[in-house]
Amino acid sequence: MRLSHLRAVGPGGEAIPAPTPSVTEARVLASLRRVLHDTSLCSLATVADDGGPHICHVYFAFDQELRVHFLSHPDSAHCRHIRRSGRASISVYDSHQSWGGQDAGIAMDGVAKECRGTDETAAESTYARRFKGYRTWTRSSEFSRFGRRYRFYTFTPTSLKVFDERRLGPGLFLTARVR
């Protein structure tokens, strides 16, 4: 993953000077990886059939390219939306943070799709590494009854916004396009 058009923005989205020259692509990518590593549940927003927003929560794993993989039922509303348009957004943050602390979180816009073939195998491997109980679940009677219908999906970000007050600076939001 590479970032382009990296810029610091204020709360209203206006461009502001980065507080230090040390806010680099490498530091932003390291911050993204840390936030993704530190929590395993994200909010996934999709475009509903009527054009409005739909949001749900999914457990996720991520790979070296910061693609987000999740397991879900293909008949769920968000998976139907993904099949129709592919447009999605994800928000990741630790909900135990306290207002006024050194907070961190990310928001990413992009595209999502159901995985097939080698993409499915890679997504499942990434997911199983993160969630140690996944393989046990796949051998359970619950999986036999319900889980066989579940599918892996991959979200690929096209743009992002990150804030990490401890590592990047207080009150600083950074936006970038993903290439």
Domain-wise residue ranges, the chain = 3-178
The per-residue pLDDT for range 52-77, each reduced to its tens digit, is 999 999 999 999 999 999 999 999 99
CATH number for the domain formed by residue range(s) 3-178: 2.30.110.10
Q: Residues near 105 by Cβ (< 8 Å), separated by ≥ 6?
A: 35, 91, 92, 93, 94, 97, 162, 163
The per-residue pLDDT for range 12-51, each reduced to its tens digit, is 878 887 666 678 899 999 999 999 999 999 999 999 999 9
Q: Please state whether 176 falls in left (phi above 0), alpha (psi between -120 and 50) or beta.
A: beta
Count helices and strands in the chain by DSSP H and E runs: 6, 9
CA distance linking residue 130 with residue 17, whole number of Å: 37
State the amino acid at position 21 in one-letter form: P
Mean pLDDT of the chain: 92
H or E stretch including 78?
Answer: helix 77-84
CA distance linking residue 24 with residue 35, whole number of Å: 17
Q: Is the pTM of this model over 0.85?
A: yes
Q: Which of 57, 41, 153 is nearest to 93 (CA)?
A: 41
CA distance linking residue 170 with residue 19, whole number of Å: 9
